C-alpha cells in the first residue's frame, strides 16, 4: 500500500459544536483548504488540531475555521483556499430523492426498515435494542438466523456500521446485508445454508446522535454528541474501546477539541458500551466494522507496528476478502495491518479491542471511494447498491470461514427474549 492510495481519515479537529451548514455564506464558516506536505512538519500539523480530510498527491486537505487559519498564519504555514468545495463526486446531489438524505437512512428510517424486516420475516429476523445513545436514541441489533429467538450452538458473526457519523455508506452496507439474507433465505440455497448454520448479528448504526447531527447541522461531523464543556462536543467512539485505550497521544487524543478525542475513560460512552456488552455476551467468530473512506481492509494491531501473533492468518483472510471484492467489478481494496507501513496508529478502536479481548479475527473495511477527490464521504445514491454488492462476497466468505473454523463456547442455550435482550416490536416515537 502506498500513501498516495490511502487517505488518512480525519486526524484532529477544532470544529466542535458548529451550528451552521458547511458551505453557507458565512465568514465564520469552516472552509476547505489545502497545505503542501513539504511546507510544514507533520508534527506541527498534528499539534494544531486540524481536521485532515485527505492526504492526496502531496497535499493535505483540511476543514479549517477562522482560528485555524490564524494559527497557520502565525506558524507561517502557507495554505490554499479550495475555490471548488469537495462535495459529491461528479456533481451528484446526495440529497436528491427519498427523505432528507435521499436513499441514505436517517435514524427513524433505519429503525422502521429493521422492524419491517422483523415483521415480514419473523422466523429468521429479530431486532434487539442494545442500549441507548447519549441523546436516548436506541442502538439496534438485527439478528439473522434460522431459529432466531434462541441461541444455538452455532458460529456467530458481527457486522458493525457508522461509528463515525459522516460515514453514511457504512450504515447501508451492513443493513443491506441483513436485508439480502432475509429476502433471499427462501429462494437461494446458499443463503439458506449460511443462515441455517450461523447466527449473524448486524448493528448498522452505532452512532445515531452523530448521524442525525450530520443530517441537520454539519455534514462533516464525526464523533458522538458528548458535551465536553467549554464549547467542545463529541468523543470518537472508535477510540473509546478498552484495549490499550489511551496508550499514547498519537493514536488518540486527550483533548476534547480533537476529532480523535478518546473520552475520559475506556467505555465512557454508551455507544461503545452497547457494542461491548453484545460482544461479551456472545461468542463471535469474526467481525467487520465498516467505515469510509479509502477502500482498504485493515486488521490489528492499530496501537503498535508490531504484528500480532495471528498476523499471517489475519492477512490471509483479508487477502481473500479483497480478492472476492475485486472479482465483482474490478475495484481493488488494499489490505494490511492497521498500523502498517503506509497507515497510521490508532488506539482504543473496535477491532483492536475485539481481537485483543477474544482473539476473534476482526477487520475494519474502509469503503470507497479511495480519495476525497472521488467523492470522499459523499457517495452517490447510485453507488450504494454496487458498494454493497462488491462487499457481499467478502461478508459471505467471513461467515463461511467462521462456520468452518467454529470454536464452541461452554454455555447453555437460552431464550434471547427472556434473558439477553428484549425483542422490540414498535419504533421509538420520540424521534
**pLDDT digit string (tens) for 126-145?**
999 999 999 999 999 999 99
* Average predicted confidence (pLDDT) for the chain: 83
CATH 3.30.70 fits 3-88, yes or no: yes
Give the domain ranges of the chain. Answer: 3-88, 107-419
Q: Is the pLDDT of residue 366 over 50?
A: yes
* Residue 289, number of CB atoms within 10 A of its CB: 26
DSSP class per residue in 248-259: -SSSSBS-TTST
pLDDT at 96: 38
Q: What is the pTM for the complete model shown?
A: 0.80
CA-to-CA distance for 337 and 306, rounded, in angstroms? 9
Place of cell 419473523: 122
Contact by Cβ (8 Å): 235, 163:
no
Q: Using omega within 30 degrees of 0 as the cis cutoff, is the peptide bond preceding 209 cis?
A: no
Q: Is the pLDDT of residue 210 over 50?
A: yes
List, in order, residues 6 or more apart from 407 with CB less than 8 Å away.
283, 285
Contact by Cβ (8 Å): 302, 356:
no
Which helix (H) or strand (E) segment holds residue 177: the answer is: helix 169-184
In the 8-state DSSP scheme, what is residue 6? S
CATH 3.30.930.10 fits 107-419, yes or no: no
In the 8-state DSSP scheme, what is residue 119? H
CA-to-CA distance for 315 and 266, rounded, in angstroms? 28
Catalytically active residues, by annotation: 366
Q: Which three three-digit cell numbers place residue 301?
A: 494491531
Highest averaged pLDDT of the listed ranges 24-33, 199-208, 209-218, 288-297: 199-208
Contact by Cβ (8 Å): 114, 127:
yes
**Tens digit of pLDDT for each residue in 52-101?**
666 666 777 777 777 778 888 888 888 887 644 444 333 333 333 445 67
pLDDT (mean) for 398-416 = 76
Percent of residues, the chain, with pLDDT higher than 70: 79
Amino acid at each position: 500500500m502506498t500513501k498516495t492510495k490511502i487517505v488518512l481519515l480525519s486526524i484532529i479537529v477544532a470544529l466542535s459544536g458548529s451550528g451552521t451548514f458547511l458551505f453557507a455564506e458565512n465568514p465564520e464558516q469552516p472552509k476547505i483548504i489545502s497545505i503542501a506536505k513539504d511546507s510544514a512538519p507533520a508534527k506541527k500539523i498534528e499539534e494544531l488540531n486540524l481536521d485532515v480530510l485527505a492526504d492526496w498527491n502531496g497535499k493535505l486537505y483540511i476543514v479549517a475555521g477562522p482560528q485555524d487559519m490564524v494559527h497557520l498564519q502565525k506558524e507561517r504555514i502557507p495554505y490554499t483556499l479550495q475555490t471548488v468545495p469537495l462535495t459529491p463526486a461528479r456533481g451528484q446531489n446526495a440529497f436528491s430523492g427519498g427523505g432528507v438524505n435521499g436513499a441514505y437512512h436517517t435514524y427513524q428510517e433505519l429503525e422502521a426498515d429493521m422492524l419491517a424486516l422483523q415483521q415480514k420475516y419473523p422466523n429468521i429476523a429479530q431486532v434487539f435494542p442494545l442500549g441507548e445513545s447519549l441523546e436516548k436514541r436506541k442502538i439496534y441489533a438485527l439478528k439473522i438466523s434460522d431459529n432466531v429467538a434462541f441461541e444455538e450452538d452455532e458460529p456467530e458473526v458481527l457486522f458493525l456500521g457508522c461509528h463515525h457519523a459522516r460515514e453514511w455508506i457504512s450504515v447501508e452496507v451492513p443493513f443491506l446485508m441483513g436485508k439480502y439474507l432475509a429476502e433471499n433465505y427462501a429462494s437461494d440455497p446458499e443463503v439458506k445454508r449460511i443462515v441455517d448454520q450461523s447466527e449473524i448479528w448486524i448493528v448498522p448504526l452505532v452512532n445515531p446522535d452523530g448521524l442525525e447531527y450530520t443530517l441537520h447541522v454539519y455534514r462533516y461531523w464525526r464523533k458522538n454528541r458528548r458535551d465536553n464543556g467549554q464549547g467542545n462536543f463529541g468523543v470518537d467512539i472508535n477510540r473509546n474501546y478498552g484495549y490499550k485505550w489511551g496508550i499514547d497521544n498519537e493514536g488518540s487524543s486527550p483533548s476534547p477539541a480533537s476529532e480523535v478525542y478518546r473520552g475520559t475513560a475506556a467505555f465512557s460512552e454508551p455507544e461503545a458500551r452497547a457494542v461491548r456488552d453484545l460482544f461479551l455476551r456472545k461468542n463471535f467468530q469474526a467481525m467487520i466494522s465498516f467505515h469510509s473512506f479509502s477502500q482498504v481492509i485493515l486488521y490489528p494491531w492499530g496501537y503498535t507496528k508490531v504484528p500480532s501473533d495471528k498476523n499471517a492468518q489475519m492477512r490471509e483472510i483479508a487477502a481473500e476478502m479483497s480478492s472476492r471484492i475485486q472479482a465483482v467489478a474490478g475495484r481493488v481494496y488494499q489490505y494490511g495491518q492497521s498500523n502498517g507501513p503506509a497507515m497510521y496508529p490508532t488506539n482504543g478502536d473496535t477491532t483492536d479491542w475485539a481481537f485483543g479481548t477474544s482473539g476473534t479475527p476482526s477487520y475494519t473495511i474502509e469503503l470507497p471511494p479511495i480519495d476525497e477527490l472521488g467523492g470522499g464521504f459523499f457517495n452517490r445514491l447510485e453507488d450504494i447498491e454496487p458498494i454493497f454488492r462488491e462487499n457481499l462476497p467478502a461478508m459471505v466468505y467471513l461467515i463461511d470461514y467462521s462456520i468452518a473454523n467454529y470454536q464452541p463456547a461452554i454455555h447453555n442455550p437460552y431464550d434471547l427474549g427472556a434473558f439477553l435482550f428484549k425483542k422490540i416490536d414498535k419504533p421509538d416515537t420520540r424521534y
